[in-house]
Amino acid sequence: MTRVRTVLPTDLVALVAYDGRVYPNESVTRDRAGTTASPHPLEAALEQWFSFATGRHTWISVKGATLRGLVSARRRGTRAAWEVDCLIDAAEDDTNVLISLLNKVAADAGRTGAQKVFLRIAAESPVLQTACASGFSSYNRERLLVLHTDDRAPSSGPEPAGLRRWARGDAYRAYQLYNRWTPEPVRHIEAATFAEWQAAGERVSPPRGTHQRVVERDGRIAGWLRTAAVGDVGRFDLMADPSDTGLLDSLIDAALTRLRDQALLLTLVPSFAGGLRERLLDRGFEEREEYVVLARRTAQPVPARAPELAPAAPATLA
Is the backbone of residue 188 left (phi > 0), alpha (psi -120 to 50) or beta? alpha
148 shares a domain with 123: no
Residues 286 and 169 in one domain: yes
**Cα(264)–Cα(261) distance, rounded to whole angstroms?**
9
55-109 pLDDT, tens digit each? 578 888 877 667 788 899 999 999 999 999 989 888 777 889 899 999 999 999 9
Residue ranges making up the domain that contains 37 = 2-135
pTM of the predicted model, to two decimals?
A: 0.85
Instruction: Give the model's pLDDT for residue 7.
Output: 57
| pLDDT (tens digit per residue) in 260-312 | 999 999 999 999 999 999 999 999 999 999 999 999 999 755 555 555 555 55
Task: Assess whether pLDDT exceeds 80 at residue 36.
Answer: no
Domain boundary among 68, 102, 135: 135
Single out the residue in 80, 106, 135 at which a domain terminates: 135
Q: CA–CA separation, 45 vs 70, rounded Å? A: 9
Per-residue pLDDT tens for 158-193?
778 889 999 989 999 999 999 999 999 999 999 999
- 122 and 7 in a common domain: yes
How many domains in the chain?
Answer: 2
In Å, how far from its chain's centre is CA 308?
Answer: 43
Cα–Cα distance measured from residue 75 to residue 118, given in angstroms and rounded to the nearest whole number: 10
Based on the fold, state whether residues 31 and 112 are members of the same structural domain. Answer: yes
For residue 92, what is the domain's CATH number? 3.40.630.30
d(CA 70, CA 72): 7
